């Protein structure tokens, strides 16, 4: 009996052990696993593979950065989650069942506008730790995240960011709602010293960045009164750096040559060109990219030099050089490869390639990708095959968003191009990391805008961000009074800054809210680039007082208007 | 939903500024009846932030920084923040009874209506109520509705107006914001 009973007892015990977890699960939701399983089973969705996620989780458990003790993450991308609306509607019940015990619902947002978008946040307190579960469910993608952290450790981390004893810099006081404070801080840290071609900011210099070395002297353009090959103007030997914008000098034989100016306003003797007697004049060539339109906004592309009248501070100027709309353009094709763009790279690459194809053969393009680093994938070239091959590399690049610094370096690159027709076409959401207080920037926005206003480079931002992307998070940010979830102010700031950059340089912001809009946006910019005339004039009198010189271009034709940059600072 | 979000933001400013105890639980408005409106709504929001989470949030505010210390004290006194909101595609999806169910609670002793805005042009209605006892604010109730929208915001906990004024110029609170609760009674009389 005893043997049989013992066997039966052991058997029963085994059954209990086997069933116990299942019974527990029935009584208590498994949370993350249940939600993921629901998505996988009911929508036949497959999780997006995230490289090294397991390793990252292990590392987090060991290192516990910012007090985080562990996380679970499942991402479903490009799935047909809208295929079963009746299930989507019951997603709230799934969440409630999955997070039914100990968990507290914090936020539930549903939106049937623009799809079926849902956000759920649950919290659980376990001793000194807190667990958050977030599920975001949209038409084509879903994200399920569960994270456990120690709030005290997280607060300590924010105050003194350290991982494994290694300091990550100053305190992170990320109050997203106080954008003004962040902007002020950023601006204070961005002490930029433009000393010639080398830019110094605090303890960092551009030279430390992975970018073309800007410490090399720049070649300066030579403008011959007697005329030169438009596409290949002669270049002077490289000249030392100057603290001011390059100004041309006129030679005794009537030629205008480049000159530089020392900080005190005296000319560095080394800057004179051997064998050429030069006369320095206090002037510089002001280049303008000008778009001419009729009253209906339609571009006018058949104008001649005599159709333009240029005024500086209300005084008529003599236009020294003119190029029609079909003259070659030098373009930096700048592509924002921050993490948020990863899943849209294919569409971005295809649209960029078609943009390259649509530009005339004589245009020179440089393809540049940027994250926190500026990566020139090509130099300026007309070789469209090489350019398109370079575009393929963008799939392998990922990182943050040093937008200001990258645009600054794009302007540096264009500075080295000895031609007047220059443009930057930048595909971005414009959100520099400094806006959210993550990173310092070598160049603040004000400095960038100031410089862009002075350069003869037209900037065309292609604003690429889905308006719905952060909608729910905006609400959360609002609810929490401007916590880290609040991104709406950053978005607004970024949009405004892009507008300012475009307006200051005579360009235009083109919106691309969906992947499908990208090609159209690029095509529009391609057309715009060849609606630009180039005009150059030598201002009558330079004061070098730092004052702003307002530029106004008028057309002699009736019912037509011209658009160009607003002016420049006379330094 | 932009309007809704904007209003929400305004409310949160109020929440933050009026952020808040003793009568705490009495200041809690029941709004579960609004859940029945959710299935028909095109936009819904449901927020429940309890005292534990608020305490957690306060950990991230430093006690040794004047501005953050004030915010920390305010948040520490809060017992909860609750929001429910719905927006519909067409008018008439919610009834006066849905609004009255909230109003009835806000008409009980202790609550005073301090702001009542009605716009005939847009149909916007905003009503702000305070629960106070001997000059101490114990809770805030906000009722916002227009033909296609209904939202209720409830902040529970003690709010010290003095501390709130210290937060002017921060957390989205206007620099010239003046939170003078001394005229609550008077305002109420005028308002009614």
How high does pLDDT run on average in chain A?
Answer: 69
Q: Do A178 and B47 make contact, defined as CB atoms within 8 angstroms?
A: no
Domain that holds residue B142: 2-191
Rounded distance between C-alpha atoms, residue A477 and residue A458, angstroms = 35
Mean pLDDT along residues A82-95: 74
**Which of A106, A108, A113 is facing B53, going by the closest CB pair?**
A106
Q: Per-residue b/e over B24-38, b at no fewer than 16 CB within 10 Å? A: bebbbbebeebeebb
Which residues have a Cβ under 8 Å from the Cβ of A396 and sit 6 or more positions away? Answer: none
Please list every residue in chain A whose beta carbon sits closer than 8 Å to the beta carbon of residue B9: 478
Please list every residue in chain B whose beta carbon sits closer than 8 Å to the beta carbon of residue A107: 45-48
Q: Which residue would you say has higher pLDDT here, A288 or B12?
A: A288
- At B65 the pLDDT is 66
Contact in structure between A462 and A512 (CB atoms under 8 Å): yes
- At B4 the pLDDT is 53
Q: Do B50 and A104 make contact, defined as CB atoms within 8 angstroms?
A: yes
A16: left (phi over 0), alpha (psi -120 to 50) or beta: alpha
Q: Which residue would you say has higher pLDDT here, A286 or A410?
A: A410
Q: Do A110 and B43 make contact, defined as CB atoms within 8 angstroms?
A: yes
Q: Do B81 and A154 make contact, defined as CB atoms within 8 angstroms?
A: no
Please list every residue in chain A whose beta carbon sits closer than 8 Å to the beta carbon of residue B42: 111-113
Q: Which residue would you say has higher pLDDT here, A127 or B177?
A: A127
Taking 90 as the threshold, does the pLDDT of residue A83 lie above it? no
Rounded distance between C-alpha atoms, residue A212 and residue A367, angstroms = 13
Contact in structure between A274 and A257 (CB atoms under 8 Å): no
Hey, is the C-beta of A481 within 8 angstroms of any chain B C-beta?
Answer: yes
Mean pLDDT along residues B77-89: 88
Which residues have a Cβ under 8 Å from the Cβ of A318 and sit 6 or more positions away? Answer: A537, A538
ipTM score here? 0.70
A295: which 2 tokens? 């009253």
Q: Which secondary structure element, helix H or strand E, spans residue A511, and what is its range?
A: strand A510-512
Residue whose C-alpha is closest to residue A137's, from A267, A236, A42, A5: A42
Please list every residue in chain A whose beta carbon sits closer than 8 Å to the beta carbon of residue B62: 159, 173
**Which of B44, B52, B81 is facing A109, going by the closest CB pair?**
B44
- At A553 the pLDDT is 92
Which residue from A minimizes the CA distance to B47? A107
What distance lies between CA A60 and its chain's CA centroid?
A: 29
What is the secondary structure of A338-398 as a DSSP string? Answer: BGGGGGGHHHHHHHHHHHHHHS-TT-EEEEEEESSSEEESS-SB--HHHHHHHHHGGGG--
A347: which 2 tokens? 């569409």
Hey, is the C-beta of A107 within 8 angstroms of any chain B C-beta?
Answer: yes
What single-letter DSSP state applies at residue A169?
Answer: S
- At A404 the pLDDT is 87
Note the helical H segments in A506-558.
515-529
Residue whose C-alpha is closest to residue A498's, from A461, A473, A529, A449: A461
Rounded distance between C-alpha atoms, residue B192 and residue B180, angstroms = 19
**Which of A89, A181, A475 is facing B5, going by the closest CB pair?**
A475
Q: How many CA atoms lie within 13 A of A465 on its CB side?
A: 24
Note the helical H segments in A28-80.
32-43, 53-63
Give B54→chain A minimum CA distance, Å.
10
Taking 50 as the threshold, does the pLDDT of residue A274 lie above it? no
Please list every residue in chain A whose beta carbon sits closer than 8 Å to the beta carbon of residue B84: none
Contact in structure between A405 and A441 (CB atoms under 8 Å): yes
Please list every residue in chain A whose beta carbon sits closer than 8 Å to the beta carbon of residue B16: 481
All structural domains of chain A with their residue ranges: 1-26, 31-167, 285-324+547-571, 330-534
Q: Do B81 and A177 make contact, defined as CB atoms within 8 angstroms?
A: no
- At B165 the pLDDT is 64
A286-294 and A532-537 beta bridge pairing:
antiparallel
Q: Where are the strands (E) in B53-172, listed by range?
A: 78-87, 111-118, 125-133, 136-146, 149-159
Q: Which of B31, B53, B70 to mutate to test the interface with A (most CBs of A within 10 A)?
A: B53
Q: Do A479 and B47 make contact, defined as CB atoms within 8 angstroms?
A: yes
- At A471 the pLDDT is 47
A344: which 2 tokens? 């849209």
Taking 60 as the threshold, does the pLDDT of residue A198 lie above it? no
Hey, is the C-beta of B69 within 8 angstroms of any chain A C-beta?
Answer: no
Contact in structure between B144 and B7 (CB atoms under 8 Å): yes
Rg (C-alpha) for chain A, rounded Å, is 30
Hey, is the C-beta of B172 within 8 angstroms of any chain A C-beta?
Answer: yes
Hey, is the C-beta of A123 within 8 angstroms of any chain B C-beta?
Answer: yes
What single-letter DSSP state applies at residue B42?
Answer: S
What single-letter DSSP state applies at residue A127?
Answer: T
Q: Which secondary structure element, helix H or strand E, spans residue A94, and what is its range?
A: helix A91-98
A115: which 2 tokens? 């799809």
Taking 70 as the threshold, does the pLDDT of residue B180 lie above it? no
- Is residue A401 packed enough to be buried (19+ CB in 10 Å), middle (13-18) or exposed (0-12)? buried
**Which of B43, B46, B56 is facing A111, going by the closest CB pair?**
B43
Contact in structure between A426 and A407 (CB atoms under 8 Å): yes
Q: Which residue would you say has higher pLDDT here, A12 or A359?
A: A359
Cβ contacts below 8 Å, chain A against chain B, sum to 85
pLDDT digits (tens, 9 = 90+) for A482-541: 443 434 577 778 888 888 899 888 888 888 877 788 888 888 898 888 888 988 888 876
A354: which 2 tokens? 């078609």
Computed from CA positions of residues A300, A301, A307, A310, in that sequence, does the dihedral angle turn out positive or negative? Answer: positive
A287: which 2 tokens? 């280049």
- At A309 the pLDDT is 92
Q: Which residue would you say has higher pLDDT here, B44 or B186?
A: B44
CATH superfamily of A330-534: von Willebrand factor, type A domain (3.40.50.410)
Taking 90 as the threshold, does the pLDDT of residue B98 lie above it? yes
Q: Do B171 and A175 make contact, defined as CB atoms within 8 angstroms?
A: yes
Give B41→chain A minimum CA distance, Å.
8
- At A424 the pLDDT is 93
Q: How big is chain A, counted in residues?
A: 571
Please list every residue in chain A whose beta carbon sits closer than 8 Å to the beta carbon of residue B39: 89
A374: which 2 tokens? 């500026």
Which residues have a Cβ under 8 Å from the Cβ of A222 and sit 6 or more positions away? Answer: A228, A233, A234, A235, A236, A255, A256, A257, A258
Hey, is the C-beta of A124 within 8 angstroms of any chain B C-beta?
Answer: no
The helix-helix angle for A179-189 and A488-505 (nearest 10°) equals 50
Q: Do A109 and B45 make contact, defined as CB atoms within 8 angstroms?
A: yes
Note the helical H segments in chain B.
2-17, 51-59, 66-77, 96-106, 161-165, 184-191
Contact in structure between B154 and B140 (CB atoms under 8 Å): yes
Q: Do A107 and B47 make contact, defined as CB atoms within 8 angstroms?
A: yes
Percent of chain B as helix, strand, coil, to the nearest 5: 40, 30, 30
Cα angle for residues A267, A271, A275 (degrees, 5° grid): 120
- At A234 the pLDDT is 35
Of chain B, the percentage scoring pLDDT greater than 90 comes to 16
Q: Do B12 and A158 make contact, defined as CB atoms within 8 angstroms?
A: no
- Is residue A105 packed enough to be buried (19+ CB in 10 Å), middle (13-18) or exposed (0-12)? middle
Q: Which of B6, B7, B12, B17 to mutate to test the interface with A (most CBs of A within 10 A)?
A: B12
């Amino acid at each position: 009996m005893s043997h049989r009973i013992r066997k039966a007892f052991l058997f029963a015990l085994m059954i209990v052990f086997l069933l116990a977890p299942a019974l527990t699960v029935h009584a208590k939701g498994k949370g993350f696993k249940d939600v993921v399983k629901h998505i996988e089973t009911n929508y036949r969705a497959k999780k997006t593979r995230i490289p090294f996620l397991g390793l990252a989780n292990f590392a987090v458990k060991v290192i516990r950065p910012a007090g985080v003790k562990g996380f679970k993450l499942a991402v479903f991308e490009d799935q047909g989650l809208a295929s079963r609306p009746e299930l989507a509607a019951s997603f709230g019940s799934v969440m409630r069942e999955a997070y039914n015990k100990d968990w507290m619902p914090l936020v539930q947002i549903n939106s049937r506008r623009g799809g079926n978008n849902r956000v759920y946040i649950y919290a659980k307190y376990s001793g000194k730790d807190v667990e958050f579960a977030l599920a975001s469910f949209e038409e084509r993608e879903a994200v399920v995240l569960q994270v456990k952290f120690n709030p005290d450790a997280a607060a300590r981390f924010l105050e003194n960011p350290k991982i494994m004893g290694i300091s990550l810099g100053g305190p992170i006081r990320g109050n997203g709602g106080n954008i003004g404070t962040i902007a002020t801080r950023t601006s204070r840290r961005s002490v930029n010293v433009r000393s010639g071609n080398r830019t110094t900011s605090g303890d960092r210099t551009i030279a430390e960045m992975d970018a073309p070395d800007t410490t090399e002297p720049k070649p300066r353009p030579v403008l011959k009164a007697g005329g030169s090959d438009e596409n290949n103007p002669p270049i002077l030997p490289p000249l030392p750096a100057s603290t001011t914008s390059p100004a041309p000098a006129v030679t005794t034989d009537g030629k205008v040559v480049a000159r530089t100016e020392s900080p005190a306003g005296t000319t560095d003797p080394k800057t004179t060109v051997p064998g050429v007697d030069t006369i320095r004049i206090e002037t510089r060539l002001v280049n303008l990219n000008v778009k001419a339109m009729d009253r209906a906004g339609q571009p006018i592309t058949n104008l001649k030099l005599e159709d333009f009248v240029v005024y500086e501070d209300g005084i008529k100027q003599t236009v020294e050089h003119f190029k029609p709309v079909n003259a070659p353009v030098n373009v930096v094709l700048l592509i924002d490869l921050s993490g948020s763009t990863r899943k849209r790279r294919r569409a971005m690459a295809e649209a960029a390639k078609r943009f390259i194809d649509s530009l005339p053969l004589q245009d020179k393009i440089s393809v540049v990708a940027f994250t926190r680093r500026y990566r020139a994938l090509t130099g300026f070239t007309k070789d469209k095959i090489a350019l398109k091959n370079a575009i393929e590399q963008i799939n392998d690049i990922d990182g943050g968003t040093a937008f200001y610094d990258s645009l600054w370096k794009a302007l540096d690159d264009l500075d080295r191009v000895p031609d007047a027709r220059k443009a930057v076409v930048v595909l971005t959401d414009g959100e520099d990391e400094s806006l959210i207080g993550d990173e310092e920037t070598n160049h603040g926005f004000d400095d960038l805008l100031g410089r862009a206003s002075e350069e003869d480079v037209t900037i065309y931002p292609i604003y690429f961000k889905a308006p719905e992307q952060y909608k729910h998070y905006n609400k959360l940010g609002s609810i929490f009074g401007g916590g880290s979830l609040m991104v709406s102010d950053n978005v607004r700031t970024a949009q405004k800054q892009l507008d300012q950059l475009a307006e200051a340089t005579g360009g235009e912001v083109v919106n691309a809210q969906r992947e499908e809009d990208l090609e159209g946006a690029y095509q529009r910019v391609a057309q715009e680039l060849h609606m630009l005339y180039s005009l150059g004039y030598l201002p009558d009198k330079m004061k070098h007082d730092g004052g702003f010189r307002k530029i106004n271009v008028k057309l002699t034709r009736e019912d037509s208007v011209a658009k160009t940059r607003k002016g420049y600072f006379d330094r | 939903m932009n309007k809704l979000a904007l209003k929400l933001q305004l409310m949160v400013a109020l929440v933050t500024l009026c952020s808040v105890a003793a009568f705490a639980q009495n200041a809690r408005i029941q709004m579960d009846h609004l859940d029945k409106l959710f299935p028909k709504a095109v936009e819904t929001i449901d927020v429940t932030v309890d005292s534990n989470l608020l305490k957690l949030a306060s950990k991230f505010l430093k006690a040794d920084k004047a501005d953050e210390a004030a915010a920390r004290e305010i948040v520490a006194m809060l017992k909860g923040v609750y929001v429910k909101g719905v927006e519909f595609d067409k008018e008439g999806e919610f009834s006066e009874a849905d609004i009255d169910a909230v109003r009835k609670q806000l008409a009980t002793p202790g609550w005073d209506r301090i702001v009542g805005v009605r716009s005939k042009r847009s149909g916007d209605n905003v009503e702000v109520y305070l629960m106070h006892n001997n000059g101490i604010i114990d809770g805030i109730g906000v009722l916002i509705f227009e033909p296609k929208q209904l939202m209720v915001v409830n902040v529970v906990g003690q709010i010290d107006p003095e501390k709130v004024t210290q937060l002017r110029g921060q957390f989205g609170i206007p620099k010239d914001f003046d939170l003078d609760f001394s005229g609550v009674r008077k305002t109420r009389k005028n308002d009614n």
